[in-house]
Structure 1
Amino acid sequence: MFKWRNFCVYILWLGAVTPIRAQEKKPVIAFVSDTQAPLLIEHVIRKLHHNTRATEFIFQDIMNTHPSSLFILGDVVSLGYQNSKWRKMDAYLRACRQNHIPVYALLGNHELMLNARKGATRFQSRFPVHDPAGYVEIVDSVAVVLLNSNFNKMPDSLIKKQDNWYIYTMHRLDEDEAVKWVIVGCHHSPYTNSKVVAPSEWVRQKFVPAFVNSKKGILFLSGHSHNFEHFNQQGKDFLVIGGGGGPHQPLSRKEITPDISAKYKPVFHYLDVERYHDSIKVVSRELKKDFSGFTDGLTFYVHHF
Structure 2
Amino acid sequence: MMRRILLCLALLIICIYAGATVLIYGDTRNHPEVHRELIARVQELRVNAVFHTGDLNQKGKSQSEYDSFKEIISPLPAPFYAIRGNHEKDLALFIKNFPSVDGLSFYSVIYDSLKFIILDSNLPLLPGSAQYRWLVNELESSKLPLILMLHHPVFSSGYHGDELGLQYYLPQLFKKYPVAAVISGHEHSFEHLIWEGLDFFVSGGGGAPLREQGSPDPRSVFFNMIHHYNLLIRQPQALLWQCFDLKGDLLYETTISLP
Same fold (TM over 0.5): yes
1:238 to partner: Cα distance: 0.4
Matched, 1:259 2:220: yes
1:106·1:186 contact (CA, 8 Å) conserved in 2? yes
CA distance in 2 between counterparts of 1:268 and 1:69 reads: 20
1:284·1:299 contact (CA, 8 Å) conserved in 2? yes
- The structure where helix makes up a greater share of residues is 1
Matched, 1:64 2:35: no
Percent identity over the alignment?
21
1:160 to partner: Cα distance: 1.0
Larger Rg over CA atoms: 1
CA distance in 1 between counterparts of 2:105 and 2:28 reads: 22
1:156 to partner: Cα distance: 8.4
- Structure 1 counterpart of 2:138: 169
1:66 to partner: Cα distance: 3.3
Matched, 1:120 2:113: no
1:228·1:239 contact (CA, 8 Å) conserved in 2? yes
Matched, 1:246 2:215: no
Q: 1:261 to 1:219 in 2, by over 3 A?
A: same
1:270 to partner: Cα distance: 1.5
Superposed CA offset, 1:54-106 (max 9, x none): 2111122231113100011110111111233234312034333xx3x111112
- Which amino acid counterpart does residue 233 of structure 2 have in structure 1? E
Matched, 1:104 2:76: no
1:123 to partner: Cα distance: 1.3
1:213 to partner: Cα distance: 1.9
5 Å-filtered alignment, 1:1-305, equals 27-37=20-30, 51-96=31-76, 99=77, 101-112=78-89, 119-129=90-100, 131-132=103-104, 134-151=106-123, 154=124, 160-173=129-142, 176=143, 179=144, 181-195=145-159, 197-214=160-177, 216-252=178-214, 254-262=215-223, 265-287=224-246, 293-304=247-258
- Which amino acid counterpart does residue 229 of structure 1 have in structure 2? E
CA distance in 2 between counterparts of 1:126 and 1:233 reads: 35
Q: How many aligned positions are there?
A: 244
CA distance in 2 between counterparts of 1:135 and 1:192 reads: 24
1:163·1:206 contact (CA, 8 Å) conserved in 2? no
Unpaired segments ≥5 residues, structure 1: 6-23, 38-50, 113-118, 288-292
- Which amino acid counterpart does residue 168 of structure 2 have in structure 1? Q
Unpaired segments ≥5 residues, structure 2: 6-15
CA distance in 2 between counterparts of 1:202 and 1:142 reads: 27
1:260 to partner: Cα distance: 0.4
1:207 to partner: Cα distance: 2.7
TM-score computed with the length of structure 1 as normaliser: 0.73
1:191·1:257 contact (CA, 8 Å) conserved in 2? no
- Which amino acid counterpart does residue 167 of structure 1 have in structure 2? V
